[in-house]
Amino acid sequence: MESTRRSFLALFLLVVLGSSIATVEEENSEFWRSQARKTLQAALDRKLNTNVARNILFFLGDGMGLTTLTAARILKGQLENQPGEETVMTMDTFPNVGLAKTYSVDFQVADSAATATAYLCGVKTNLNIVGVNAAGRNGVCRTQKGNEVTSILKWAKDAGKSVGIVTTTRVQHATPAGSYAHSASRTWYCDADMPESAKRDGCTDISFQLINNTDIDVIIGGGRKYMTPTGTKDPEYPTDFFSNGERKDGRDLIKEWQNLKTGKVAHYVWNKADFDAVDPETTDYLMALFEPGDLRYEEERDPSMDPSIVETTEKAIRILQKNPKGFFLLVEGGRIDQAHHAGRASMALHEAVAFDRAIAKGLELTEEHETLTVVMADHSQPLTFNGFPFRGNSILGKSPLWAGDMLPYTTLMYGNGPGHKIVNGTRPDIRNVDTKSKDYIQQAAVPVDTTTHSGEDVAVLARGPMAHLFQGVNEQNYIAHAMGYAACVGADLRHCEGQTAPPLVHTTLKYNKNGAGAVSASAALLGSLLSGLLAITILM
């Protein structure tokens, strides 16, 4: 009772102290009414864009739940010396917003393999499985055969479009793998990762499938070591044993990829200098693998060696858009999720801000009347935003309210994770700790080595042709079908039947001097399931 009374008193004092923080214009009722009228008029003036989508730009923020979106928005503004809460992310300007339910067939909380299969292939499946329906069993090769499902990337390629994947993880990771691979285990990056029984039953590793399943025009990310024979020294880290090639079959898939492209202008690069030298206008194919495994976090990236996600997105679009039939491009901000798994909220938010900048670059390089752009997350993370911080308080800072143990806490915390530290029944005292550091690990309620995912719905944002299909609350597998319908790829071609010259009615994005955007109208088996849980850990 006494602690409750103290909490209410502290909150009352905060309200009093914070009452003078608002700007003069925000204290004027007309400011908010005027803002609302403009937003309302933009919504009233908006016309449906019913064109057939020539291009699809699909941006996937791995682990980018709603709390991450909100916190990243604030961080973006604060990096520009603004309070942050009123900041507009590029993705905030998308006029159509819906929610997707993320559960897998076997679990309430899904992993990135099951979710990728849903939103890319249009079919929900089980945990740890990629490109295979729910009849597949984790790690059991024979259940894979006959249950493979194809993705919208494959549908687009079959329709004559150019296709590409850009990721900040390894290109064999769950999200990109969902666009081209069929695997009873998401962890079969190369043959060395596979059990002998799977090889005997005829299954192949994900790297092998990367170059043999679908003719992908642009492949950008990490994952060099899964492409070369055991012991092959890495060109960037020749003395690092853990960066060496890992393939037991002796195959050099990079060279095999180059041989498959004989007669075409195909470039393989592993550093920024060679990447920058690639001329999109004369390039047919590009494979760029910048690290042995996942790419470095944006905050730790060496700009002289590795391009940013903005740069890789731009290069991919410029190569793909030469095709008169259009393109499909998957861009994954994959390390948002990995930073969350490590409990490093600062790193995760900086990854999300960089991801949003890549979205802005995508919009800059394409035309809304012909390009459907979709932004979504595959699943969320157990990140909370709490504590009654003052307006403009650092999103990575501490709440002015202290807890019942008379110790401060950060406004961003995790439900579980490596940040759980209780010594003699007491939380760490963080009064003198720099919680804004990229290396700070947020406190967590439950001790686990790596955060689990969380199971709430994720946001789906869309603009461009048929973007209005992305609204309401839908199953996650609906996304692939809606994108396919909009672009007339895959099985459902009704949208393009009889259409010859669709009207060019679209919504444009305009930026003000502060970079903020504003929208305006312009005419299964239990054993295998449990083993899947053991296999996922940080790989989620």
Q: Which residues are catalytic?
A: 112
Q: From 369, 504, 371, 507, select the one nearest 55 (Cα to Cα).
A: 371
Q: Mention every residue, 6+ apart, whose C-beta is less than 8 A from residue 336.
A: 61, 62, 63, 64, 68, 348, 351, 352, 355
| Cα–Cα distance, 161 to 52 (Å, whole number) | 14
Contact 189, 253 (CB under 8 A): no
CB atoms within 10 A of CB 54: 22
Residue-wise DSSP of 170-239: ETTSHHHHTTT--BS-TT--SGGGS-HHHHHTT---HHHHHHHTS--SEEEEE-GGGTSBTTPPPSS-TT
With DSSP H G I counted as helix, E B as strand and the rest as coil, what are the percentages for the chain, rounded to 5? 35, 20, 45
Q: Between the CA of residue 230 and those of 175, 193, 199, 234, 391, what are the distances in Å?
A: 25, 12, 17, 11, 54
Contact 165, 175 (CB under 8 A): no
Q: Is 62 annotated as a binding residue?
A: yes
Which tokens belong to 285?
Answer: 């194919």
Contact 475, 380 (CB under 8 A): no
Q: Is 340 annotated as a binding residue?
A: no
| Cα–Cα distance, 441 to 271 (Å, whole number) | 31
Burial group, residue 215, by CB count within 10 angstroms (0-12, 13-18, 19+) = middle
C-alpha 487 chain-centroid distance = 22
As beta bridge partners, residue 377 has 61
| Cα–Cα distance, 396 to 387 (Å, whole number) | 12
Contact 297, 339 (CB under 8 A): yes
Q: Is 332 annotated as a binding residue?
A: yes
As beta bridge partners, residue 461 has 97, 375
Q: How many residues does the chain have?
A: 540
Q: Is 341 annotated as a binding residue?
A: yes
Q: Is 337 annotated as a binding residue?
A: yes
Q: Is 429 annotated as a binding residue?
A: no
Q: Is 92 annotated as a binding residue?
A: no
Give the annotated binding-site residues for Mg(2+).
62, 173, 175, 332
Give the annotated binding-site residues for Zn(2+).
62, 337, 341, 378-379, 453
Give the annotated binding-site residues.
62, 173, 175, 332, 337, 341, 378-379, 453
